[in-house]
Amino acid sequence: MPERDEQQITVSATALRAMRDEFQRFLMEYRFGLQEIETKISILREEFEEVHDYNPIEHVSGRVKSPDSLAEKVRRKGVDADFDSIRSSITDIAGVRITCSFTTDAYRLFDLLTQQDDITVISVKDYIAEPKPNGYKSLHAIVTVPVFLSTGRVDVPVEVQFRTIAMDFWASLEHKIYYKYDRLVPDELLAGLKDAADTAAELDQRMERLHREIRGGAPGVVSI
């Protein structure tokens, strides 16, 4: 009897290791897809600095969802817990956030990225043109980028977000508030957040006007 128990434990451990390895390979595709997008953005940034003497990108951050975060989203959305279902139903496993100085930079970079031959646009949500009711603003795009593995080509979905510094600051504050109150935010704070979003939008517009005056008024400078 003890021998049978030991065999059962060994089989279970082997099965768990196999599941772990398969899950790591699954996430590896998204990590490589993320790296491809980050490389494309890095090239665009370097070209702008070299050719236009201008950097439209303040910073770039990327992440692949953690196993716990992915499992929670699978549960919340009611997705079948197999890799094919997860792959087809959840498109933000890999994500890149590109923070720009100005709204025009966000749209310009979106166009330059999505017009590349190997990028396929799956969906776009323009929360800059049409903000969410709470004031959230950002340009979201789900794209696929090819990753070439030893087993062949895999088209990996990546969520790319474009926003200004002001939009990013507001979104960071909103996230902290919602986390602190476990999403049950008092009405007065929600009203304050909306007011802050309006102020941030006004600041973006004022800085955009100043930017155009500076870039447009300098001789020999290409207007970006």
Angle, nearest 10°, between helix axes 165-180 and 187-217? 170
Nearest to 141 by CA among 156, 165, 157: 157
Q: Residue 14: which residues within 8 A CB-CB, separation 6 or more?
A: none
Active site residue 188: no
The first and second tokens of residue 93, run together, are 């496993």
Angle, nearest 10°, between helix axes 2-47 and 103-114? 110
Query: What letter would DSSP give residue 48?
Result: I
Catalytic residue among 46, 159, 208, 213: 159
Indicate which residues carry an active-site annotation.
159
